[in-house]
Amino acid sequence: MVENLLTQHEKLTHRFHQQVGVDQLVKDTDPTRTATAEGQTFTREIPNVFALFDEVGAGKTKQIVDASQMLYLWGRVDTMLVLCPGFARSTWAEGDPLLGEVAKHAWDSVPNIVHEFHGDYTDLDMTAQGLHWVVSNFEFVRRENRRDQLLHVLKGRKTWMVVDESWCIKGRSDQTKACIMLRRKRADRATILNGTPLSDGKPQDLYYQFAFLDPEIIGAKNYTHFKKKYFATTTAFGQVVEYQHLDELNARIAPYVLSRRTRDCFDLPPMLDPITVEATLSNETWKIYRDMRDEMVAWCGQQASTSKQAITKALRLSQICSGILGGLENVTDDDDPVLGPNSPAPSWMPGAAPTAIPGPGPFGQASPVVAPHGAQKLTKEISREKLDAFMAWFKTLAKPRKMLTWCRFRPELVRLHKELESVYPNVLDLWGSQTPDERRRVKEFLAPGGNQDEGAVCGITGTGAASLNFSAAWLMVFMSHDPALIKRTQSIGRVERPGQTQPMMIVDVVAKGPKGQKTIDHHILKALRGKDDMARWTVNQWRQILKEE
């Protein structure tokens, strides 16, 4: 039945894995999906909940839209409540089929009415006949008055609630609380979407995501119960050293999960060996870097075994490598550990392999330090070795029609934008606090089949790292690196997806000392390519790598 309906009504032809996904999404339960561990057999018996964990680019949104059309025609759903990060809201709600997923995949035989619930758009008129889509973002609905408004509007409706990028509710927060409340009180059916469910290798990240669906899935009434059941050893600081009963946890989850790799589902062009462009720091910049590094090494030697402040101090070293000082705010993260490199992947998740593997590449030559320009409040440009090295390398390349670059720091992006204006007729930016029109222009520029003009996009890592299709570009450049593995994985997923027609290349720009000494750039890049999340490292680990040159 599912195949026939798809063939008759869909706008874009489905792949087989998407048909399988739609079939699971429209089912209430499925006793054929089972998993066994420690003498227990678990099945998909809790009704109307599912986790679609297909890799980035595998078409999770199309599967949701197709399934929603079927359920509406069968009279089982009349409202779709979609919650996602703010930057992903337009991906669902945009009325242009080139940019909006509902507009792209919704069937002509179903009247679809899309409402954006945010900012000044809070009046939800649900009186028209059809399938109503209410699209909002976590940051908005976590406010009690907005949540109460949704509870009022959705009362009595047949609601399917979808949480996109469910890693956003992996921890205890107001937005997690809001999602769980809306699910419990108004949603008859619930689904989570996540293309990187274990990118950080932490099983505890799964707790709140599955608690949103139904806590019975993981067999824990609350997080305290979850810790007692699955954490074998913890430190005095609350860090998990060792897990237990992970086979049971994975078996409980497996019947409710579909997780497929994009390259197993689509015939994509190859990912070329990554290029590493090294920039030699000047003696002056190296002295500043070395002094900050030595201070951090001494600090690490005085601290306890774990610290949230280590990542902040390492961030300052990264900033110096990019030729910038000042303007940083504290960066914190939790102290949860990752699964070790030899830990087996869960049965429900396909074997993960690095998207890009280490490989040799040409080296750029750094230029002398120049006078600061494009500096922002509280920041100071001290050098531009990495920028000069990248531009020297870029001039040896046959210029691509479109290029996507990522920076970690706003002043770094401003400076790169100005430099690229001498190369491309169009240079666009992607960062927070942009207007909808500015963001739309970027999406149109890099969407497959969209704008055909030449140009480059300069983005802040994380701002556009999820829910966007930038496959019109085949060259992606990281001018600096965030240690959070999920941001790296999601960023690469913007180009490694359906719509890509060219072999893809990832370029990493790293700084080195005047005599070839390693910097924090090398250590972060090594960890990212090895799928290791440095944000979870202990202070001692930081100290050891910083002593290496």
Please say if the pLDDT value at position 499 is more than 50.
yes
294-335: pLDDT as tens digits? 888 887 777 654 456 677 778 889 999 999 987 664 333 333
Separation between Cα atoms, residue 353 and residue 351, nearest integer Å: 7
Please say if the pLDDT value at position 357 is more than 50.
no
**pLDDT category of residue 46 using cuts at 50, 70 and 90:** very high
Structural contact between residues 51 and 253, judged by C-beta atoms closer than 8 angstroms = yes
Q: How many CB atoms lie within 10 A of CB 304?
A: 11
Query: Domains in the chain, start-ordered, CATH in brackets?
Result: 2-264 (3.40.50.10810), 275-340+355-546 (3.40.50.300)
- The predicted model scores a pTM of 0.78
Separation between Cα atoms, residue 218 and residue 221, nearest integer Å: 9
Q: How far apart are the first and last CA of the chain?
A: 62
Q: In DSSP terms, which residues pair with 81 in a beta bridge?
A: 134, 161
- Summarize the confidence of residues 160-180 as an average pLDDT: 93
Q: In DSSP terms, which residues pair with 459 in a beta bridge?
A: 406, 430
pLDDT value for 340: 38
Separation between Cα atoms, residue 102 and residue 65, nearest integer Å: 6
Separation between Cα atoms, residue 445 and residue 459, nearest integer Å: 13
Q: How many CB atoms lie within 10 A of CB 377?
A: 7
347 vs 37, more confident: 37
pLDDT value for 343: 45
- Which DSSP state fits 121? B
Please say if the pLDDT value at position 360 is more than 60.
no
Separation between Cα atoms, residue 282 and residue 365, nearest integer Å: 11
Q: Which residue has the tokens 């949704």?
A: 150
* Among 296, 465, 114, 549, residue whose Cα is nearest residue 106: 114
**Stretch among 180-194, 250-264, 368-382 having the lowest mean pLDDT:** 368-382
Please say if the pLDDT value at position 337 is more than 70.
no
- Summarize the confidence of residues 247-260 as an average pLDDT: 95
**pLDDT category of residue 99 using cuts at 50, 70 and 90:** confident
Element containing residue 131 per DSSP (H, E): strand 131-137
282-293: pLDDT as tens digits? 999 999 999 988
- What separation in angstroms does the CA of 512 have from each of 180, 226, 276, 481? 47, 44, 12, 14
Separation between Cα atoms, residue 455 and residue 467, nearest integer Å: 21
111-121 in b/e form (b: 16+ CB < 10 A) is: ebebbbbbeee
* Among 473, 520, 514, 510, residue whose Cα is nearest residue 493: 473
Separation between Cα atoms, residue 180 and residue 166, nearest integer Å: 12
**pLDDT category of residue 235 using cuts at 50, 70 and 90:** low
Q: How many CB atoms lie within 10 A of CB 365?
A: 12
* Among 340, 424, 499, 447, residue whose Cα is nearest residue 100: 447
- Which DSSP state fits 219? T
Please say if the pLDDT value at position 73 is more than 60.
yes
pLDDT value for 549: 66
Please say if the pLDDT value at position 359 is more than 50.
no
**pLDDT category of residue 535 using cuts at 50, 70 and 90:** low
- Summarize the confidence of residues 12-18 as an average pLDDT: 94
388-437: pLDDT as tens digits? 999 999 999 999 999 999 999 999 999 999 999 999 999 999 987 788 88
Q: What percent of the chain has pLDDT over 70?
A: 85
Local structure of 445: helix, strand or coil: helix
| φ, ψ dihedrals at 242, nearest 5° | -150, 145
pLDDT value for 23: 97
pLDDT value for 294: 87
- Summarize the confidence of residues 375-380 as an average pLDDT: 58
pLDDT value for 241: 67
pLDDT value for 374: 38
508-523: pLDDT as tens digits? 999 999 999 999 999 9
* Among 18, 101, 2, 14, residue whose Cα is nearest residue 61: 101
Please say if the pLDDT value at position 45 is more than 90.
yes
pLDDT value for 198: 67
